[in-house]
Amino acid sequence: MKSKIQFILSMIIFGTIGLVNRHIDLSSSERALLSSFIGWLFLLLIFFMLKKKISWDIVKLNALLLLLSSIALGGNWIFLYQSYDHTTIANATLGYYFAPVFVMLLSPFILKEKLSIQKCIYVIVAILGLILIVGEGISASKINDIIGLSFGLIAAAFYATLLLINKFIKNMEKLELTIIQLGLTALLLVPYVFFTSGFGIFEVPSSSIPFIFILGVINTGIGFWLFFSGMENLKGQSIAMLSYVDPFVAILISAVILQEQMTFIQILGGVLLLGSTFISEINSIKFSKRFIKTPVD
């Protein structure tokens, strides 16, 4: 029960990221840099408090993959935060949750997994849902919604890339992996921020400072800590089901707190998109349990 509560809390925390972002007057790349750096410091402190050590030999063996995954993580955050800047939190979240579809489409080429007819149906339904969401925003007055949703899809592509790369990283604990990736992401974002938006961090309004620390410490640091602590003792099916607390919270915040409107067609599109990816994940886990046996020690 403790693990389930920890995981649900992490999903609730992740679901508030869009709301927190709205109160930070910085570019998306600067927000990504600060969230990764502050989150890295927090998780590193937790890591040492737990008296754990980073296995540098294993880090060296996975060096290239860690670098690529960190680039994907940075791109994921930059475009997700840009998505929040251009459209509603609900639209940004729905675009971002297209990531499982990208994973399904890329898996046959990267993981050599068969794309079954059933998975093809899930992909088609998800795309139909996305068309319904976008279709309601195709007008001059709502061009920002289209741009925002596009940024959400790019963020989803980066996140799907991150998930796929992580499957090839061997012998690293998830907390250790996240610390390395956050540290590398922060390091890589420093020159990117310098050559693009510049360091407005040093001129940030005082009203943004509390939200910067919330984004870094709570949304990134505590969020990931609860996420990994909770998932250690949860079954794959529970993780897949509870993961959808995140978009539910984000869409609820969009509708109730920010009063951002969604039409019935967009809601229907959202249900099709989230529903298809949800059912796909649950069925994939059931299939694995039925047909894939774990080797006996």
pLDDT recorded at residue 137: 53
Nearest Cα residue to 256 out of 16, 6, 13, 10: 16
pLDDT the model gives residue 193: 92
C-alpha distances in angstroms, 24 versus 91, 193, 201, 215, 272?
19, 16, 10, 9, 32
> Concatenated DSSP letters for 230-272?
HHTTS-HHHHHHHTTHHHHHHHHIIIIIS-----HHHHHHHHH
pLDDT of residue 114: 79
CA distances from 132 to 90, 96, 156, 220, 252 (A): 14, 15, 18, 32, 20
pLDDT of residue 4: 87
pLDDT digits (tens, 9 = 90+) for 24-75: 999 999 999 999 999 999 999 999 998 888 889 999 999 999 999 999 999 9
pLDDT at site 100: 86
pLDDT at 297 (0 to 100): 33
Residues of the chain with pLDDT under 50: 139-141, 290-297
